[in-house]
């Protein structure tokens, strides 16, 4: 069936043209041909088909590079994607254009434990509000990240420990039906890693790790520019790797998991214990004032000169560093980005992570390895989610 | 430059045709077209060009599948590759055909510490002997694996700890010049992983890990069917990941590296200490007989009911299992193959590795995860080395 086969190849080429325009902006036909290694004539035909279905169009003559003048091509200006980043304690929704520039976002507080009906209801309200304000009638796709393991193929959470009531819930299909467009579901760490690759410090990295330290700890793995999910979609689950410890029991049942020491929940507990046992006057004062402590309070206490808080921060950073050192040995990445709420503890935490990781890894692997904090605020998840669905939409658009 | 661009695409297609024939044997033009998603006519043209340069040819009509009868295509019967697997204490050389079937091998003992001139000299003698016996005048390429870090792009070892005198030595270019054909240099673990993928238990795995336990410990990482080398080519260096321990100093200078407990050298030292300190009568007897002990002797002692040897084996397996558990969490592979000399300790070691790894990893990642021993004897490295150079040769053949 040579004819249908050639049809499939064309489709792939159209998706690649769209991805180039999404990632690099308007390009001339000549530039597209060079990037995709096909002739200008082929590009012309592909762009013609994309124009028919309203996804891309020619915008006029390109600046001459000598020789015959080429024609500029751009994505359709009215493409809109929706990104939803659901966290444990709140969610961010956003709307982007075809190049994933964020046009508007809204942050909505809300506990994930209220269950999928309530949380997705709130998310959809916010999305519809944004779409109405922006005058968007038909978003082209919606991407969503949730703080737990996901079956990417089926679009459902799988036994997510922090998300009671979400196990097996058809998140992807619910959003697709409600918004009348294709949807993609992934875990929050993967979504953040993809956002970092599109618009953050990892923009030029092909093989990198995004380590998220929030309530839990996870890692997005990017190989040759694409997300690596592993055979069951649970690659990057580093929160339960074993670290040096005193035999602390993790919620997963094992001993000495990283998350049991360095996750946001564990740090908040340690801070509370330090306050209650009289080891930290600053944390005790903050606890008395507010009735509870968070991981971020440790940073405040450190800034106020609290020694016990500094110890907590140091030990946490060293344990993350121990795991990061192992990942450096195994994966030899070109960049490690640290993100998530706890990364708000900032450069003191980063210094400990770096110190341990560099000390424990071989020089060849760490010689040029930057370990840096994410510079994307919370819209990183929105951009990543939008990007994931954009790839699906582009691939499917012309079949 | 549409013309040269289209030329480059054709070249890639020819390399893909050759790789299909190498990996799957003779195929009809129709089958090739389906596998590569191009028309039968395109395949015909590609095969014509490959026939001109003597790499592939049509062998006659295919069995009819209904409709027009297709034509069978095969690699040229006289393609020969050389594979050289250099270990710490000896080397194996082999000659394969185009599909990497091993036609002859030779094992040559020899200490890698004698340096590159001596060791490569011995290797070349053996290669020339095999080629002469087989009547091969012009091998198409030579692949070689060495037990240390390699700069793949430059074809030289980089500060290899077990290989004094080899740092920066032009191994690849020396072999290419001496044998008059393209050469490729990689580390032994990568080469063994590639051999496992081509002809071993990983034949049908796309994402898997090959853990080699020899004098040192390393890991080959295969992502989507291809070797993942990391940004500096040192991915898979798991021998220096940190494990539970009593503060033992590793040769690398750090404390509690996996290799310092579970590598072949460490196990031999532990066995010797057990023999000398009267904790193991069986090992003491073996030491008295032969004057030294190896890691494999522990297996013999276990088989003879020695309790201390059983403890050494168990603790070693548990530490490998601890690291493997971390890799499962991070990489979520579909298969883990355990190979290398120490894997000769067999199923008792494997049971400990499995026990620890399954216990410490999340059910989603281990539900269907086989952890198995390599079934390839020492020719695995030869096949892998030959395969690596075959890809280079195929890619370059028609440029």
The average confidence (pLDDT) of chain A is 91
Report whether A346 contacts A381 (CB < 8 A).
no
**Which of chain A's residues have a Cβ under 8 Å away from the Cβ of B235?**
330-332
Average of per-residue pLDDT across B255-262: 94
Mean pLDDT over A316-344 rounds to 92
Interface membership of A217 toward B (CB under 8 Å): no
CB contact under 8 A, B333 and A252: no
Residue where one domain finishes, among candidates B54, B75, B96: B75
Same domain, yes or no: A292 and A343: yes
Residues A304-318 have a mean pLDDT of: 94
Instruction: Decide if pLDDT at A378 tops 90.
Output: no
Q: What is residue A399's predicted lDDT score, i.e. its pLDDT?
A: 56
Contact A237 B329 (CB under 8 A): yes
What is the percent of chain A where pLDDT is above 70? 96
Q: Where are the beta strands (DSSP E) in B100-205?
A: 102-109, 141-146, 150-151, 156-157, 183-187
* Those residues with Cβ within 8 angstroms of residue B269's Cβ, 6 or more apart along the chain or in another chain: none
Give me A324's structure tokens.
Answer: 């990061």
B251 interfaces chain A, CB cutoff of 8 Å:
no
- Position B199 scores a pLDDT of 94
Contact A365 B237 (CB under 8 A): yes
CB-based contact A242 B41, cutoff 8 Å = no
Same domain, A127 and A16: no
CATH code (residue B169): 3.30.420.40
Sole residue written with tokens 């940073």: A299
Q: Residue B5 and residue A38: Cβ atoms within 8 Å?
A: yes
| Percent of chain A clearing pLDDT 90 (strictly above) | 72
Sign of the CA dihedral running B15, B19, B25, B28: negative
Is residue A215 domain-shared with residue A338, that is, in the same domain? yes
Task: Say yes or no: A130 and A265 in one domain.
Answer: no
Report which of B367, B345, B330 is spatially closest to residue B300, judged by C-alpha positions.
B345
Residue range B306-334, pLDDT digits in tens: 999 999 999 999 999 999 999 999 999 99
Specify the pLDDT at position A5: 39
Query: Looking at the complex, does the CB of residue A244 fall below 8 Å from at least one CB of chain B?
Result: yes
Query: Do A156 and A135 share a structural domain?
Result: yes
- pLDDT the model gives residue B161: 80
Quick one: B326 and B234 in the same domain? yes
pLDDT at B2 over 50: no
Residue B252 has pLDDT above 90, yes or no: no
- With an 8 Å Cβ cutoff, is A251 touching chain B? no
pLDDT band at A364 (very low <50, low <70, confident <90, very high): low
Q: Are residues A229 and A343 in the same domain?
A: yes
Pick from A51-60, A299-308, A361-370, B279-288: least confident: A361-370
For residue B234, give the nearest of A40, A326, A365 by CB distance: A365
B34 contacts A231? CB cut-off 8 A: no
What's the pLDDT at A398? 60
User: Could you report the per-residue pLDDT of A23-78, keeping only the tens digit for each?
Assistant: 999 999 999 999 988 888 888 888 999 999 999 999 888 887 777 788 899 999 99
Contact between A236 and B158 using a beta-carbon 8 Å cutoff = no
Q: Which domain holds residue B315?
A: 201-373
> How far apart are alpha carbons A106 and A112 in whole angstroms?
17
**For residue B1, is pLDDT > 60?**
no
| pLDDT of residue B399 exceeding 70 | no
Dihedral class, residue B224 (left if φ above 0, else alpha if ψ from -120 to 50, else beta): left
Rounded to whole angstroms, the Cα distance separating B147 from B218 reads 10
Mean pLDDT, rounded, of chain B: 91
CB contact (8 A) between residue A230 and residue B332: yes
Name the token pair of B136: 């091969």
- Judged by CB atoms within 8 Å, which residues 24-53 of A form the interface with B? 33-34, 37-41
Confidence tier at A321 by pLDDT (50, 70, 90)? very high
Tell me the mean pLDDT in the region A222-235: 92
User: How many CB atoms are located within 10 Å of the residue B330 CB?
Assistant: 24
Number of domains in chain A: 3
Chain A contact present for B5, CB below 8 A = yes
DSSP-derived letter for residue A103 is E
Residue-wise over A188-217: b if at least 16 C-beta within 10 A, else e? bbbbbbbbbbbbbbbeebebbbbbbbbbbb
Is A207 found in the same domain as A334? yes
Chain A contact set for B10 (CB, 8 A): none
Query: B229 and chain A: CB distance < 8 Å anywhere?
Result: yes
pLDDT at B7 > cutoff 70: no
Q: Are residues B163 and B52 in the same domain?
A: no
The arithmetic mean of pLDDT across residues B43-72, rounded, is: 86
Q: Which residue has the higher pLDDT, B347 or B92?
A: B92
Could you report the per-residue pLDDT of A150-162, keeping only the tens digit for each? 999 999 998 888 8
Section A361-384 average pLDDT: 84
Query: How confident is the model over A378-395, as a mean pLDDT?
Result: 94
User: B184 pLDDT exceeds 90?
Assistant: yes
Are B39 and A237 in contact (CB < 8 Å)?
Answer: no
What's the pLDDT tens digit per position in A108-167?
998 999 999 999 999 999 999 999 999 999 999 999 999 988 999 999 998 888 899 999
pLDDT tens for B198-245 read 999 999 999 999 999 988 899 999 999 999 999 988 899 999 999 988
Question: With an 8 Å Cβ cutoff, are B332 and A237 in contact?
Answer: yes
Question: Does A329 lie in the same domain as A392?
Answer: no
How big is the A-B interface in CB pairs under 8 Å? 154
Q: What is the ipTM of this complex?
A: 0.89
What pLDDT does residue A368 have?
79
Can you state the angle between helices A347-360 and A295-303, rounded to 10 degrees?
100
When scoring A230, A243, A323 by the number of chain B Cβ atoms within 10 A, the one with the most, hence best to mutate, is: A230
Structural Rg of chain B based on CA atoms: 23
Instruction: Kindly report the CATH number assigned to the domain that includes residue B69.
Output: 1.10.10.10
Output the pLDDT for position A9: 55
Which H or E element spans position B85?
strand B80-86
Domain C-terminal end among A35, A56, A75: A75
**Domain boundary at B75, B103, B130, which?**
B75
In chain A, residues with a C-beta closer than 8 Å to the C-beta of B149 are 364
Q: Given pLDDT bands bounded at 50, 70 and 90, which one contains residue A4?
A: very low
Quick one: how far is CA B111 from the chain centroid? 20
Instruction: Kindly list the distances between the CA atom of residue B384 and the CA atoms of A48, A159, B269, in Å, as whole numbers in the listed order.
Output: 46, 40, 31
| Whether A67 contacts chain B with CB within 8 A | no
Residue window 177-206, chain B: list those with CB within 8 Å of chain A: 206
Residue-wise pLDDT for A192-213, tens only, equals 999 999 999 999 999 999 999 9
The residue whose two tokens read 């399954």 is B358
* Pair (A351, A257) in one structural domain: yes
For residue B222, the model assigns a pLDDT of: 96
Between positions 359 and 378 of B, the ones with CB within 8 A of A are 359-362, 364-365, 367-368
**B241/B367 same-domain check:** yes
């Amino acid at each position: 069936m040579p004819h249908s086969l050639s049809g499939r190849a064309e489709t792939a080429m159209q998706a690649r043209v769209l991805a180039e325009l999404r990632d690099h902006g308007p390009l001339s036909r000549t530039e597209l041909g060079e990037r995709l290694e096909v002739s200008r004539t082929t590009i012309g035909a592909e762009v013609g088909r994309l124009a028919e279905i309203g996804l891309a169009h020619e915008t006029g003559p390109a600046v001459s590079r000598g020789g015959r003048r080429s024609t500029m091509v751009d994505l359709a200006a009215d493409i809109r994607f929706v990104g939803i980043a659901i966290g444990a304690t709140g969610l961010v929704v956003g709307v982007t254009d075809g190049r994933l520039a964020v046009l508007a976002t809204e942050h909505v507080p809300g506990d994930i434990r209220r269950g999928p009906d309530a949380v997705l209801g709130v998310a959809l309200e916010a999305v519809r509000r944004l779409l109405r304000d922006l005058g968007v009638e038909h978003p082209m796709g919606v991407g969503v990240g949730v703080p737990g393991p996901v079956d990417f193929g089926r679009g459902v959470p799988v036994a997510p420990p922090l998300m009671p009531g979400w196990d097996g819930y058809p998140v992807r299909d619910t959003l697709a039906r409600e918004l009348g467009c294709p949807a993609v579901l992934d875990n929050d760490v993967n979504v953040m890693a993809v956002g970092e690759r599109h618009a953050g410090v990892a923009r030029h990295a092909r093989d990198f790790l995004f380590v998220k330290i929030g309530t839990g700890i996870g890692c997005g793995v990017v190989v040759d520019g694409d997300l690596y999910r592993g055979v069951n979609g649970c690659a990057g689950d580093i929160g339960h790797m074993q670290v040096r410890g005193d035999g602390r029991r993790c919620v997963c049942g094992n001993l000495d998991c990283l998350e049991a020491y360095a996750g946001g929940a564990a740090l908040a507990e340690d801070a509370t214990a330090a306050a209650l046992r009289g080891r930290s006057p600053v944390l005790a004062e903050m606890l008395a004032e507010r009735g509870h402590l968070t991981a971020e309070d440790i940073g405040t206490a450190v800034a106020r000169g609290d020694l016990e808080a500094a110890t907590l921060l140091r030990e946490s950073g060293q344990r993350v560093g121990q795991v990061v050192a192992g990942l450096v040995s195994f994966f030899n990445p070109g960049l490690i980005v640290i993100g998530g709420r706890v990364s708000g503890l900032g450069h003191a935490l980063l210094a400990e992570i770096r110190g341990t990781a560099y000390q424990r890894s071989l020089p060849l692997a760490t010689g040029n390895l930057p370990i840096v904090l994410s510079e994307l605020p919370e819209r990183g998840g929105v951009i990543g989610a939008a990007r994931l669905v954009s790839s699906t939409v582009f691939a499917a658009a012309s079949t």
